[in-house]
Amino acid sequence: MLNCVESSFSRSSATPKFGNHRHLSDDAHTDAVAIPPTLGTLFGILKPMKPDKPLSSRRRFLFLAGISSLPIFELMRGALRLDAQDKAGFPEGYDAVEVAPQSHKVLFENAIVRVLQVVVAPGTREPMHHHRWPSIFLIWDTGGRTEHIRIYHADGSIHDVPSRETPVHPGSWRVTWMKPEPMHSIEKLETPESAATLPNKPPTVRVEFKFAA
């Protein structure tokens, strides 16, 4: 993050790898959209449905049943994956909002998404926590000096990320895809005085998708 250091890193072959973090100056991930296997069955049902032929009630039923089952299928698949995550790296009681409410403020939440405002204050370190759902970061990027931070992992490893100067440019929103993040903690090594020299920008927003994994 810029105001949120957690947005600073993610897995990328172009940057040093540590957890699921990546530096904000790198390009955001773009993932190809794959057609779920269930749709292949639906296409097979749809193919014979030509306008000049009468549709049987059975074929209509199969089509509508297939369409209606897609959201349920995806939700069940996500739930099974999340259950597996809980047993390895995503322990109960360590959700970011539960253990690090000072840096994770809920802006909106329903059964599908949770929207967080994420800000780590200068000179502070978050408690160890995780993000069990995949998410996107919305970051206002103007370039300029980056924050000096440290990232702590559950295995005891620590990654120090010094501040650096980047080219200043007109502000634009950067969208970054993040996989579920296991236990970690971010420390911002800025002082209130040094933080005042960082680019002025709004807090980072993290949108977590509860139905995916």
**What size, in residues, is the chain?**
213
* DSSP for 64-94, written as a single string: HHHHHHHHHHHHHHHHHHHHHHHTTT--TT-
Along the 213 residues of the chain, how does pLDDT read in single tens digits?
444 444 443 333 333 333 334 333 333 333 433 434 444 444 454 445 444 455 555 555 454 455 454 555 555 555 545 544 555 789 999 999 999 999 999 999 999 999 999 999 999 999 999 999 999 999 999 999 999 999 999 999 999 999 999 999 999 999 999 999 999 999 999 999 999 999 999 999 999 999 865
Q: Which residue has the tokens 């959700």?
A: 95
Q: Which CATH superfamily is domain 92-209 in?
A: Jelly Rolls (2.60.120.10)
d(CA 191, CA 121): 9
- Predicted model pTM: 0.61
Q: Do residues 139 and 99 lie in contact, with contact meaning Cβ atoms separated by under 8 Å? A: no
Q: Give the domain ranges of the chain.
A: 37-86, 92-209
